[in-house]
Structure 1
Amino acid sequence: MTTSHHRSRRTVTRAAVAVVIAAGTTTALTGTASAHAATDAVTVAPLVKGLYQTSYSERNDVLWTTVAVGRPPVVSSSLLKVDPDTLEVERTITPPVTDAATGALEAVYGVAVDDEHNTVWTTNTRNNTVAVYSQRTGKHLVTLPNVNHAREIVVDERHDTVWASAFTDGTLVAFDSKTFEEKQRITVEGSGPTGLVVNERTGTAYAADLTNDQVIEVTATSATPRLIPAGDGAISIALSKNGKTAYTANQTSGDVSVIDLKKGLVTKSVATGAGALSVATDDRTGNIVVVNRTAATATVVDPKAGKVVRTVTTGANPNHVEISDGTAYVVDKSGAGLDGADQIHSFRVTR
């Protein structure tokens, strides 16, 4: 999907393993608590070691979460099916083995859901591939090669297209989401595409170019990309609901850039925190959330006003943010849970 996803939240209770942080205090739950009982509460739950990214499925009401631990050969990796309300793991899917001798797995890192075809796509960065799994059964359906240092992936359901960023090659690769065939390959020499987003109304894809501090724009009608200036160390990108504005999280400068896509220029820069790494849009309010890895915070920004409206403390090394129906989900790489488990945090974007 393009940016944040919507669903009808049901009344639930949080699992006792979660921790609710409200009004500057931390309380361990001994029973259960209403979901988001305090409007400024942050709910934290440990999952497993090695969390990377999440993607919300409206069709199945699931947070698909990628896990990978260590350097090659990676022998610990999984695709988790997480309940977005209780933050409990409902199912663990192990990727295919790629080397029987070492037990190396086709480790998963980036993730995006295709609710139209009921699949979930992953980037397998160490293997230079992307893969597709069934959301219904968890079955590994296919592995698609030649996406060197595959970093992120995004689904355009309206145009049956999935885009992946190949960081090493400076390439954006498009696949047919029905047939899994490669349909387009766009290379910008000397670039390093990382974060991705797509405007499903137009089919235009946008990539944050970490190497050159810019945005790569690829339209459905032109094979020649347009290059738009961004912030210092642009690594992640999101779009406004109307698709006219892009937001880049800038890792080097620790801020977010607000970019007018028609004019092709940065109109505002808002400081968010050291190591800004991931950004997502809340379509309900128009606010954005930026995860700051070094600062260990998630910052809610009003991009129209160009100001920070809230800063949420996370665990160490927050890595990714996903927004669904006004709730932000942030995964960290803190190792703060039992046996070094990383954590997931959820909070309402508005208070």
Structure 2
Amino acid sequence: MKNVVARNATQRAIAGLTSLALVAGTLTVMPYASAQQQTSQCVVNKARGENGAGAFGADKSTYKPGDVVKLNGAVFDARQSNGQPIANPYLALKLDSNSNTWPVQEDGSLLEFKDGSDATTLIVPSHLLTDDGFEAEVVLPAEFDNNFKPGKHIITVLGGADGGPTVSKSTEIWVNETGNDDDACGVNNQNPQPQPQPQPNPQPNPQPQPQPNPNPQPNPNPQPQPNTNASASASASVSATDGRWSKKGDISVKFSVEGFPKGEKVSVKYDDKEIPLDKEVTVDETGKATGSVTLRDLPAGEYEITVTAKDTHANAKFQVNPVATLSDNAAAGSAVTFNGAGLPAGAKITAVGTDGQNWLTKKQVWDAVVPENGQISITDVQIPADAKFGEIVYYTYTTNDGKKVEAETTNKVNASTEPVSVDQYSGIKRELPSGLYQSAVNNDTGHVFVTSAQRTSKSTIYKLDLKTLDVVAKNDALEKDGADNVYAAYGVALDNTRNLVWVTDTRQGTVSVYRQSDLTHVKTFPKDVAPHSRDVAIDEKTGLAYVSVVGGDNANKVVVFDLNQDQPIGTIQLDGFDGVMSLDLNQDTGELFTASGGTPKAAKIDLRNGNQVTIYNLPKNFASGAGVAYDPVSKNLFVTSQRSGEAVVLSTETKKVVATIPTGAGALNAVYNKDDKRVYVTNRGAGTVTVIDPATNKVVANLPAGKNANHTSVAADGTIITVNKAGTVKGEGRQPVDEVYTYKFNGVKPQPNPNPQPKPEPSKTSEKPTEKPKPTADPKPTDKPEPKPTPTPQNPSSNLKGIRNLLITVFSVLGLTGLFAGALGAMAKFNVIPASWVPEQLRF
């Protein structure tokens, strides 16, 4: 086992930009008064002062380590500023006011750390916020330790850092070994009495006590008396790269105080200099206050701030620890930048790479000396093309005193983002105002319908021409709720039989219907009938709509809607699901496929057979299921993992996993293309669409799709439509824009086999979900690789087309004799020509 400094609970590489080092310390000006009391058996953490509107609670009272806690906030003020919705609303969750840190959220709502790595704070993102609160599930630490002990713990929700109204609400939970209310340190067995304190020994010769002065004189120069109960604690998070809310080298120091004079303003000094507060802080009615300051350019070490309010002050120590991250999601074959912060001054970076590998050149090592500010960047770190997918990236440094330290970066190796076989595709690109989400195609009319949502402030449904992507019509005057929030459109599906557009109004937990012809409004169902509605699929034979639900009590259900009814007509329960994600409906068979976002499961619902449900178990380490695509030829289901950046291939006949295919960071959606018989996976983090041949379960193309590629749909002629959320600022108005891409495969398409052979059973090794095939090896880069221009969909190369046409001509004349058939198969095997050019029976 490697002896390394681990990331905060092995946080995910999807965080990408920032990293944390957290050590909390407490130093009081007089005898210590802790915010955590110890009874004879149980700790009793105290709730912080509350402010703002809202109610906040958990689903039960007692839990055990590692349990999932369901949290609910209600009657909160809307996340607005000056009457307008804020751009990026969110709330924050704390555990025991920074006295404890959160584990990586591998379950529940899969919340991320603040800035990607601040383990004291979980962020409740905008998609989990409701009009007046939120619903979220969090995972407790997996075991007790010196900080996280049996007893009462406090979960606090905070708001205000997003620019919206300030709120601080807490709920208490009890945690013991069993999760039973009646066992020790459960809510019914709190044992709250503190242990008796030892009494001082009597003095054999007590000294005479001073007598009060009968004529006291006023002191002309009274000195401020310290509050003996005052205390402060602090923690620090380090930014390794520039982020949305921080710059590289920022040290965000969060502090909390108790025993301070109520109503007084708080100030902070560091190194005897007053430091501006990130936001004004006032001591509440209970004598408590929390706030933060931003310092910069501190190398690793222990530091101290002084917090003051009027005549009361307290010191708090905090630790800055090293952190490091790689750019570009550490994609294999990429030249990336290593960024480190909070490192010891004078330390030398000697290695960056996976276990046993060092990707640094001798010159890079020679120059990699950490300056006084503790920050360093090493550019052009070449990740090998054959770097093993999913392996943790480590870095090693040597301190001035000769100590060698090996630690984890925030990254794991991701699949390559290098374009592959783009020249086999043609297509176009168009920019639209920012907020794009999903698309759907009417093949009869040749129109693409695209949803765009800018949270609750603005939303648009576009009707585009498939061939040109010109805007034919749009509707951005969508319905509003009582709080003047737009019913923003996110998911989209078409009922082409009835010429209707169905969209999910995710924030209001419902669905709306519009006419395809002019996008006029037809109907909106009541709020909260489908909490956090995500995807919608329409059975065109019946006209019924099926909506996936991510949040609330229906997170394991698909909700069924009939346009002629005012309420949902039913639900379909999926046992073991936690968040129903993408939907893929086979209109011919009535089979509806989906995946669970919080548990390793997928499902098939037979709509033509009484909604009969089949549950498929995925590998236990499969996390964040998102996209699904069903191949009716192989009868395999492709399920993507947004967290790991891969797709698993599951045989719906044997219920076994037959392949695991790395695709790219943030594998979010998938779709099967009937025309070219390929599966297209949209990788949000990588900004690519990875193309898989289901006949071989191999990657055959990798198409650029812009920053934050979000969704791909497919037309009957084989054209795929991909929308992204690039948010690129352009033009005089400096308004952000997203992009719509189309691609159409121009290569040789598989032909149906007139004499199909029985399908062989998967091999034993292919059925093992833990054995992942290695990514297709790319040629290893030379010492000085020459940059290759990225082909665009608008200007595909014709070189391979010429080779292909020549081969077709030759074999048309000579026939597929054994000699030429063997040569053709060998050329495909060694990547001289694409395998898709070779008939299936001739492939190796």
TM-score tier (shorter): 0.7 to 0.9
CA offsets 1:187-229 (integer angstroms, 9 cap, x no match): 3355210100122233232211111121122223345632102
Of residues 243-252 and 79-88 in structure 1, the stretch that sits farther from structure 2 once superposed is 243-252
C-alpha separation in 2, matches of 1:288 and 1:99: 39
What is the 5 A alignment of 1:263-342? 263-324=654-715, 325-336=717-728, 338=730, 339-342=735-738
Do the aligned partners of 1:159 and 1:203 also contact (CA within 8 Å) in 2? Answer: no
How far off its partner does 1:108 sit?
A: 0.3
Aligned length: 310
CA offsets 1:252-299 (integer angstroms, 9 cap, x no match): 221122221122222112111111011111102211111111111111
Q: Higher strand proportion, which one?
A: 1
Please tell me whether residue 209 in structure 1 is matched to residue 596 in structure 2. Answer: yes
Aligned residue identity for 1:109: Y
Of residues 265-274 and 221-230 in structure 1, the stretch that sits farther from structure 2 once superposed is 221-230
Q: Higher helix proportion, which one?
A: 2
How far off its partner does 1:154 sit?
A: 0.8
Bigger relative contact order, structure 1 or 2, given CA contacts below 8 A and separation 6+?
1
Of residues 307-316 and 198-207 in structure 1, the stretch that sits farther from structure 2 once superposed is 198-207
C-alpha separation in 1, matches of 2:746 and 2:639: 21
CA offsets 1:45-93 (integer angstroms, 9 cap, x no match): 10111000000012321110000113xxx12101111111111222111
SS at the partner of 2:726? Answer: coil
What is the 5 A alignment of 1:21-170? 39-70=424-455, 74-99=456-481, 103-145=484-526, 146-168=529-551, 169=554, 170=556
Aligned residue identity for 1:64: F
C-alpha separation in 2, matches of 1:81 and 1:216: 32
Aligned residue identity for 1:340: P
Q: Cα gap change, 1:216/1:349 in structure 2, threshold over 3 Å: closer, same or farther?
A: same
- The two structures have a TM-score, normalised by structure 2, of 0.35
- Sequence identity of aligned pairs in percent? 27
CA offsets 1:292-340 (integer angstroms, 9 cap, x no match): 1111111111022111111112211000001112111110100226321
2:635 corresponds to: 244
Q: Cα gap change, 1:198/1:40 in structure 2, threshold over 3 Å: closer, same or farther?
A: closer
Please tell me whether residue 253 in structure 1 is matched to residue 641 in structure 2. Answer: no
Please tell me whether residue 172 in structure 1 is matched to residue 558 in structure 2. Answer: yes
1:19 corresponds to: none
CA offsets 1:158-177 (integer angstroms, 9 cap, x no match): 23322110111221012235
How far off its partner does 1:97 sit?
A: 3.5
Structure 2 residues not aligned, in runs of 5+? 1-422, 748-844
Aligned residue identity for 1:86: T
SS at the partner of 2:425? Answer: coil
Aligned residue identity for 2:568: E
2:579 corresponds to: 192
Do the aligned partners of 2:623 and 2:641 also contact (CA within 8 Å) in 1? Answer: yes
2:284 corresponds to: none
Q: Cα gap change, 1:306/1:39 in structure 2, threshold over 3 Å: closer, same or farther?
A: closer
Structure 1 residues not aligned, in runs of 5+? 1-37
Aligned residue identity for 1:225: V
C-alpha separation in 2, matches of 1:327 and 1:348: 5
C-alpha separation in 2, matches of 1:241 and 1:45: 32
CA offsets 1:27-49 (integer angstroms, 9 cap, x no match): xxxxxxxxxxx753442210111
Aligned residue identity for 2:560: A
C-alpha separation in 2, matches of 1:173 and 1:229: 22
Do the aligned partners of 1:300 and 1:309 also contact (CA within 8 Å) in 2? Answer: yes
Do the aligned partners of 1:300 and 1:349 also contact (CA within 8 Å) in 2? Answer: no
Q: Cα gap change, 1:254/1:350 in structure 2, threshold over 3 Å: closer, same or farther?
A: farther
How far off its partner does 1:140 sit?
A: 1.0
Aligned residue identity for 1:253: S
SS at the partner of 2:507? Answer: helix
Of residues 231-240 and 285-294 in structure 1, the stretch that sits farther from structure 2 once superposed is 231-240
How far off its partner does 1:124 sit?
A: 0.3
C-alpha separation in 1, matches of 2:654 and 2:487: 41
Do the aligned partners of 2:495 and 2:543 also contact (CA within 8 Å) in 1? Answer: no
How far off its partner does 1:137 sit?
A: 2.8
